[in-house]
Copies of this chain bind each other. A is one copy, B any other.
Amino acid sequence: MDDLLQLGKQALASQPFSVLVGTELTGYSPGWAELTIPITPQLKQQHGFVHGGVISYAADNALTFVGGSVLGPAVVTSEYKINYLKPAVGTVLIARATVVYSSKTQAICRCDVFMVDEGKERLCAVAQGTIARIGRPDEAQT
């Protein structure tokens, strides 16, 4: 396992909320991040679908990680927007993020969130946002 992926897994494991959700970092290289979340009953809403908040969390966190892949580990999500495309069902949620543009201080990134249902991936949400490099951890948000 390469160094960046190893560091990323450690960062994710140190986020209590990500541990609570059950998120795994399944891909990480400069300009690319993939988070995978097994869909468990506790991640759902009242109609049996994955709660939108889980999908937002996945997109937000994938955006932060991919921004960190080019800006270094001290980053936060400054802002993002998300469009939900369809209700998420299935066994696994996968958030894949890429860097569209980066300067020394920030990266503009996009994320696609897929649900895996009966072995088939389907896009269920798309996001776009800004990741900022911060000077000190106490400026961190995510």
Contacts and interface: CB of A to CB of B under 8 A. Distances in A.
B77 A84 contact: yes
A53 B76 CA distance: 12
A135 to B, nearest CB: 11
A142 B101 contact: no
A22 to B, nearest CB: 11
A84 B88 contact: no
Contact of A126 (B47, B82, B128, B141): B128
A44 to B, nearest CB: 5
Contacts of A17: 42-45, 51, 53-54
Contacts of A140: 45, 47, 49, 87
Contacts of A45: 14-18, 140, 142
Interface string A86-111: 11100000000000110000001010
Contacts of A21: 53
A63 B96 CA distance: 23
Given A56-B60, A79-B83, 6 more contacts: A16-B41, A47-B137, A53-B61, A56-B56, A81-B128, A126-B128
Interface of A: 11, 14-21, 41-47, 49, 51-58, 60-61, 64, 76-88, 100-101, 108, 110, 123, 126-130, 137-142
